[in-house]
Structure 1
Amino acid sequence: MPTGLVEELEPLVRRVLAPNPSPFTYTGTQTYLVGTDAELAVIDPGPDDPDHIAALVAAIGGAKVVAIMCTHTHRDHSPAADPLKAVTGAPIIGCAPLVIESDIPRADAPFDQSYTPDRVLSDGESITGEGWTLTAVATPGHTSNHLCFELEETKALFTGDHVMGWSTTVVVPPDGNMADYMASMEKIYERADRVYYPAHGAAVEKPQQLVRGMIGHRRQRERQILKHLADGPAVIPDMVAKMYVGLDPRLVPAAGQSVLAHLLDLENRDVVKDTGEGWGLVRA
């Protein structure tokens, strides 16, 4: 899909692609306009890019923007919220503000320090407009402040980066938490959503099937880690080289952070420990 154009996905949902493709954003961030020609909400306004903001303003037309909603505060999702608010007068409503300062090399987009919501939604809280209702579904894991939004009238779930249409999400410590991510995956697996609209990648027409596969994938990664450690302590780069054969070199840091997230989860469960010479199994 070309950037800047409006694509109707269903009567209450339109999509505009931002011009920010990368190894981590796929074709770019997808901003969703949810509602009618009278009232709508904007989900994940995207990067602070003048062309993208102009495309959103054109797509909004004469509609009243009831809310500018962000699933989380990585810089490919929320920076356009403030300039879009300046144009439309709409409040910024959604996830909590979050800025993590860390010396750990980050594989995902850094946090947006400019994000200042007018209202933070808790799990189960809703925003309404003419003919539509969006309800927050708390899904920590990718980030601790991550929310999905359910369009109640059509059982569509806007999944941000929690579930993407092209890849598994990156879980990057210290804020990204594998145990929280797995619990959030189980949470949405138990729901009855009809379709997922992710911030990156195609719509997911068989949500439960995809989520089941993603949960299985993470459990398989955990088993791989434990198998490597059964031979003795190991360091993360060596584990990545064995577990991610043929991986795009640009994604190697992300793979390392994912392995670290698994190791920290296993450490919290007293399965592994940092030996000082690498990670090793906790022997009974």
Structure 2
Amino acid sequence: MAIPYVRGIEFEYGRVDQVSPLIRRVIANNPGPFTYMGTGVYIIGQGEVAVIDPGPMLEEHFEALKAALAGERVTHVLVTHGHSDHSPLAAPLAEWAGCKTYSLYRGIHTAKDELGSEDDLSFVPDVEVGDGVVISGPGWTIDVIETPGHTANHICFGLREENACFSGDHIMGWSTTVVAPPDGNMGDYMRSLDKIAARGFDILWPTHGSPVRGKEFVATFIAEYASHRRAREASILAELRGGETSIPAMVSRMYKDVDQRLHPAAAMSVLGHMLDLIERGMVVTPDAVPTPRSRFELVTARA
């Protein structure tokens, strides 16, 4: 099977939509090849609320969030990871609301020109959270789930009352995610997919695009997400067995049907696979610090 993507979404930029009994969503006007229709900001609860991934620092978006939150008390601003489409508005929103920001901070950053999604270098959460931390308010309870892979500091949030997962960029309905070294780690990513699958969520709410709904469909979706990564690894190994040593050459063939604007990010994901294969003793490179411009070969090719 292929990944059963969910790409249809009805919205208006800046409008607040009640998407479940406990969840509202406001989408920022920052569409692009990595953000799809834009950053979806989630408001959890009524009266005393948490906000997840406030998004980019766009004045009209900030004003839309203020309007959506009028008359309520924001108790927590939660951030899945520190990328420029997720976290820049976190501190300004928390300051406006008089609360704190919560995330997992690890000071690892990837260059914009390599990743294609700029790091928010200024973001450091007021409160660092990780596995086992519970954040709650009137009628809502959120579990913090560490899911490194897309970035080293990526976390998801589980909403107990709706058995829902706010999956950030870890799992997206419209596309696969970029796993770009040195911040991203393919081995960690695959383990994190298993971790979310084991929770048996009924619905995934990614920061970009539509939700993935239904316990069985969520399980299938995650399984196909993982299968896609294993298929990419198999394609890389086939390229290496055929004598190819260059990541750019591999990307030009493996991603020939993908928007070329995404090829630099694809090269970083292939590098992520290479580093995982090196760690597993299957691939070697002469470079102490491998990059997408390094040369790679199978260990068996040297034997």
Shift of 1:86: 2.1
Out of 210, 228, 241, the residue aligned to residue 230 of structure 1 is 241
- Check 1:116–1:228 CA distance in 2 against 1; reply closer, same or farther (3 A cut): closer
Out of 121, 145, 148, the residue aligned to residue 140 of structure 1 is 148
- Check 1:280–1:233 CA distance in 2 against 1; reply closer, same or farther (3 A cut): farther
| TM-score (normalizing by structure 2) | 0.90
Alignment check: 8 A CA contact 1:107 1:257 kept: yes
Shift of 1:95: 2.3
Q: Which runs of 5+ in 1 are unaligned?
A: none
Shift of 1:108: 3.3
- Counterpart in the other structure of 2:73: 64
Q: Which runs of 5+ in 2 are unaligned?
A: 1-10, 288-293
**1:260 and 2:271 matched:** yes
Alignment check: 8 A CA contact 2:244 2:250 kept: no
Moved over 6 A (4+): none
Cα distance per residue 1:214-253 (max 9 Å; x no partner): 0000000000111111122420111111111222111110
Q: Which amino acid letter does the alignment assign opposite residue 230 of structure 2? A: R
Q: How does 1:127-206 map to 2 (within 5 A)?
A: 127-205=135-213, 206=217
Instruction: Give the whole-Å Cα distance in 2 for the aligned partners of 1:178 and 1:228.
Output: 19
Shift of 1:3: 0.8
- Counterpart in the other structure of 1:274: 285
**1:96 and 2:105 matched:** yes
Aligned residues: 282
| TM-score (normalizing by structure 1) | 0.96
Instruction: Give the whole-Å Cα distance in 2 for the aligned partners of 1:108 and 1:133.
Output: 34
Calculate percent identity across the aligned residue pairs.
46
**1:81 and 2:98 matched:** no
Alignment check: 8 A CA contact 2:109 2:121 kept: no
* CA RMSD between the two structures: 1.4
Alignment check: 8 A CA contact 1:99 1:111 kept: no
**1:216 and 2:227 matched:** yes
Shift of 1:99: 4.6
Higher relative contact order (CA 8 A, sep 6+): 2
Instruction: Give the whole-Å Cα distance in 2 for the aligned partners of 1:145 and 1:101.
Output: 12
Helix, strand or coil for the counterpart of 2:93?
Answer: helix
Shift of 1:278: 2.1
Instruction: Give the whole-Å Cα distance in 1 for the aligned partners of 2:106 and 2:73.
Output: 25
Shift of 1:150: 0.5
- Check 1:10–1:101 CA distance in 2 against 1; reply closer, same or farther (3 A cut): closer
Instruction: Give the whole-Å Cα distance in 1 for the aligned partners of 2:33 and 2:265.
Output: 10
Alignment check: 8 A CA contact 1:97 1:115 kept: no
Q: Which amino acid letter does the alignment assign opposite residue 249 of structure 1? A: Q
